[in-house]
Every structure is written in C-alpha cells, then in structure tokens.
Amino acid sequence: MSSATVAGHEVSTDHWIGGERVAGSERFEVITPIDGSVIAQVAAGGAHEADLAVAAAHAAAPGWAALGPVGRATLLTRLADLIDQNVERLAAVECADMAMLLESLRLRVIHRAAANFRNYAELAASYEERDWRSKGTWNRVQRMPAGPAAVITPWNAPFMLSTWKVAPALAAGCPVVLKPAEWSPLSCSLLADLTAQAGFPPGVFNVLQGTGEQAGAALVAHPMLRRISFTGSPETAREIGVAAARNLVPFTGELGGKGPLIVFEDADLDAAAAKAAGQYDDAGQVCLAGTRLLVQESVRDEFLERFHAAVDRHVLGDPRAPETTVSPLIHPEHLARVDGFVKRAVAAGDRLVRGGQPAGGLLYEPTLFEPRANDSEIVQREVFGPVLTFQTFADEAEAIALSNSTPYGLSGIVYTSSMGRADRVGRAVRAGVVWVNTFLVRDLTAPFGGIGISGLGREGGNYALDFYSDLKTLQILEGSVR
Ligand code: ADP
C-alpha cells in the first residue's frame, strides 16, 4: 500500500479496485503547480489493472441494479454528506493537486460536488416511468441500468468534474471505473475512501490511475464496458470514439470551447467588464470560459477602461492565499503550450494589448490580444490559459456571425438589458449553454454539452440518467393479463 502526505493529509496513491487498494507495478510522478515540487508517486495502470477494474465493476453490476433507485439514493446521499463533512481535506488536496483557488474550493466547488450526488439521488429515485394506453395496449418506459461505465476526466477541477459523471452513472445503477487525469489524480483517490465509508458495495466505484495512453486507452477498449463518458480534448475524443465504436458502446464527450462573451451597448458595462476580467480566474483553465470578448463598437472605450481596471485588481499568486485571484497553470508542459500560443500570435501579427509573459513559477500574466483577423489561431483555437481576445462588432448580426465563427460550440455569455435581444441572440449563438448577464453556475437539472467539436451527447439532469440507462418499452395487450 502506498500513500503520500499532501497538504498535511494522507492520500492513497494506489488504484481502488473491487473495494481494495491495488498497488500495481509502475508509478508516475505528480507535481504540485504551487511550487513545481513532486508530491506523490501514483500507480500507473495498464491493461491488467483496467481489466481488474472493469471485472470488479461488472461483478458488482447485478447487485447495484437490484438495489433500485431508492436503495442507491440512500448511499449516494450518505456520500454527499461525507463530501460536505470533508470539505477542508478535499479542498486542500485538490488545491495542491491542481492549484485551484482554495477559498473557491472550500466555499463552492466541493459543495457543488456533494450537490451532484444529492441531486442525482433524488432525481433517479423520483423518476416517473411514462405510462400510457394506446391502440389496445398498456405501454411503459423503463430505465434499465446500462452496466459498467468508464468515466475519463480532465485535470481541471478534477474532483467536481468527475462527480458530474460519477453521480448520474451510479444513480442510474451503473458501477463506475473512474480514470482521473494524470496531472491531478489525487483528490479522486479521496472520493474512493468516502465511497467505502458511505458503505458502497465493493466494485461499485473503482479508480484506475495512470496515463491516458496506457490506463485510459486500455480502459476504453475493454469489451465489458457498456458506457463511456469523457471530458477532454477533441483529439483524444476521436481516439476514444474509435475504441467505443469497436465495441458498439455509446459515449459522450465534452471537449472544450472557445466561448464568446458578447457585450451590447445597452448592457451594464461594469458587470460585463467584471465578468470579462473574471475569465482569468483559475488561470483560464475552464472549458466554459468566454475567451473571445466581442464588444459593440459604440462602447469599446468605456468597456476597455473598465475591463483593464478590473484586470489590474487581479492578484497572481499562491492559490492558498485568500487574496489570490489568478493561480498557477497546472504543469510546465501546459505553461509552454500557453506561451507557444502567445508567441505564435505575436509573430503572426496579432496585437498584444496586455500580458503575454510567464510571471514566475507556473504563473502566467492575464493576456489580451486584439487579433489581426478572425481567422487568427488565437481566435480559433482553445488555449486553456489566461489568454483572451478582443474584437468589436457593429450590430447584432455581426455579433452572432463572430460568435459562431469557430468550430467550437460549448458556451456563450451575453450582456444586454433587452429581453428581446437576450432571446434572439441566445437562440442564435451556436452553443450547448448560453448565459445572459450571468455565468458558470448551471441548474443541475439542465442539459449540458457541446455542439461541433465541443462535444457529443448531453449530460446533466435526466439527460445523463437516460445516457446511463437502457430505455425499455414494455407493452402489454389490454385484457390479456389479470
Ligand atoms: P487535456 O488536453 O485536457 O490534457 P486529454 O484529452 O489529453 O485532455 O486528457 C483528458 C483525459 O483523457 C485524461 O484523463 C487523459 O489521461 C485521458 N486520455 C488521454 N488519452 C487517452 C486515450 N487515448 N484513451 C483514453 N483516455 C485518454
């Protein structure tokens, strides 16, 4: 058994398979973005461990299904309570793991993870089977648990994002094998401990640690899986899609974005500028971020003045310090990637308005470009760092055209005081979610997912429960049974 002491808390660095810790033979190093030091040597799984994990999930499937939604809800609610009770520990480990702001983790993010379990416990248990008479028959739609599900998660907000998927899968009756990202695998190890404490039967929840190429690829190729849910890059999604197709397994993918943040002249400019500056939070490592600022020409100067003032108030630094608002990037390789985007943009003639440099350790300056043209790489590709672009538009039609001019379609943010415009633009922006005068916190029952290369399938609310279920129609000839 191996463990590491992370931010003063002991965290198992092994896999969690069939209700037991499994060490495996290989290890990989995990660093903390806070100072770049190595904080853990984590088990690096491969085909053997993937096989053990899926077999454990498969063996647990009939028992978990037989519990029914109400029985499962009891355990899921217990898990939600344990997450809430362990906020300090989870937040501290997640902060060391990924450098997300500690205050934000303690006050919001970890509780949101608990809310996912609580919400899905309730939603699955209160499912109303559609029941109707038609053409001399009784009809009923039933949700049958699909079977073992693989959940592959990204390195940003790893704990909370994993619960988006783990909670509906478990609530629907599917045992889970979770493969966390190799740059931030530690907080999900704590989730395994909490499932044990909550009394989950062995094999219902499993954590397979390791790299995407080894553990991830072996997991998604496993023929005993019945569902795959992935969040990450479009490139990896294509590989997972091929593996899923080989076994005819449905999969959903949430694949990042390049969201517009559209500011109309009738908007509350203080609020819009503050929200635009807020896109640098978590160093811009947020798939839903509105990274393309699109501002109506008539308020360009007023907006920029407020925006720069708000960005000037950002404090770059240690994510544990309460005054910090912009934390370090996850990994040196990622910093090099972000800096590569910036250098290429400068070389291509995009105008650097502010920032554009590393700021010590893994920090990176909040950066703004005025692109040379809309087809600039910096406008068209997701950077996943503190880098925004600024463009202006003349009217609604141009705002919509610019919004829809990338291959992505995950999110959009609109600032306007007009209901008509909110409705028109909200409808026209090609994205899975559009926020008007607000951002980020989605009602848990709403669908979530991307259009274009931002993803396929929908999660959230009943949409996720349907994904993790085989929907069955039961039809009985009227008068044939008593
Ligand atoms: P990012 O660019 O954000 O790191 P990736 O798509 O590379 O996104 O990674 C997201 C998740 O997918 C991680 O958990 C990673 O380990 C996993 N992953 C990467 N490659 C594969 C693969 N070929 N098969 C399965 N999972 C993979």
Residue nearest to atom 2 of ligand 1 (CA): 233
Residue 432 domain boundaries = 259-436
Residue 444 lies in a domain: no
Q: Which residues are catalytically annotated?
A: 254, 287
Cα of 279 to ligand 1 centre, how many Å?
Answer: 24
**pLDDT tens sequence across 50-70:** 999 999 999 999 999 999 999
> Mean of the per-residue pLDDT values for the chain?
97
- 441 occurs within a structural domain: no
Are 141 and 283 part of one and the same domain? no
Position in ligand 1 atom list of the atom nearest CA 182 = 16
CA distance 370 to 387: 11
Residue nearest (by alpha carbon) to ligand 1 atom 17: 212
Three-state DSSP at 401 gives helix
Whether residue 443 is contained in a domain is answered as no
Q: Is there a single domain that holds both residue 183 and residue 268?
A: no
Whats the size of the chain, residue-wise? 482
pLDDT at 128: 86
Domain shared by 470 and 424, yes or no: no
- Cα(98)–Cα(34) distance, rounded to whole angstroms? 8
The backbone torsions φ and ψ at residue 432, rounded to the nearest 5 degrees and listed phi first, read -75, -25
Round to whole Å and give the CA distance between 284 and 355. Answer: 14
Q: What is the pLDDT of residue 24?
A: 84
Looking at the fold, whether 430 and 467 belong to one and the same domain comes out as no
* Residue partners of 50: CB distance under 8 A and separation at least 6: 177, 208, 215, 218, 219, 222
231 CA distance to ligand 1 middle (Å)? 8
Same domain, yes or no: 251 and 263 = no
Q: Is residue 426 part of a domain?
A: yes
Q: Residue 322 has what pLDDT?
A: 96
Q: How many CA atoms lie within 13 A of 65 on its CB side?
A: 16
- Any residues with CB less than 8 A from the CB of 464 and at least 6 apart, and which? 120, 164, 165, 168, 169, 172, 458
Q: Which CATH number do you get for residue 404?
A: 3.40.309.10
Contact 469, 144 (CB under 8 A): yes
Report yes or no: 32 and 4 within 8 Å, Cβ to Cβ.
no
Cβ < 6 Å from ligand 1: which residues? Answer: 152-155, 179, 181-182, 211-213, 216-217, 220, 232-233, 236, 239-240
Q: What is the pLDDT of residues 430-467, one digit of tens each?
A: 999 999 999 988 888 899 999 999 999 999 999 999 99
Q: How far is CA 191 from CA 37, 110, 187, 325, in A?
A: 24, 11, 7, 27
CATH no. for residue 165?
3.40.605.10
Q: Is residue 457 part of a domain?
A: yes
397 domain residue, yes or no:
yes
Same structural domain, 21 and 127? yes
Sheet with 387-393: strands ordered across:
351-354, 367-370, 387-393, 290-296, 259-263, 411-415, 433-436
Nearest ligand 1 atom to the CA of 236 is 6
Same domain assignment for residues 13 and 138? yes
What is the per-residue pLDDT across 181-190, written as a single tens digit (0 to 9) for each? 999 999 999 9
Looking at the fold, whether 55 and 198 belong to one and the same domain comes out as yes
251 and 270 fall within a common domain: no
219 and 298 in a single domain? The answer is no
pLDDT (0 to 100) of residue 440? 86
Q: What pTM does this model have?
A: 0.96
Q: Are residues 291 and 376 in the same domain?
A: yes
Report the domain count for the chain. 2
Please indicate, yes or no, whether residues 249 and 272 belong to a single structural domain of this protein.
no
Nearest atom of ligand 1 to the alpha carbon of 235: 6
**Which residues of the chain fall short of a pLDDT of 70?**
none
**Distances from the Cα of 43 to the Cα of 19, 27, 126, angstroms:** 16, 4, 39
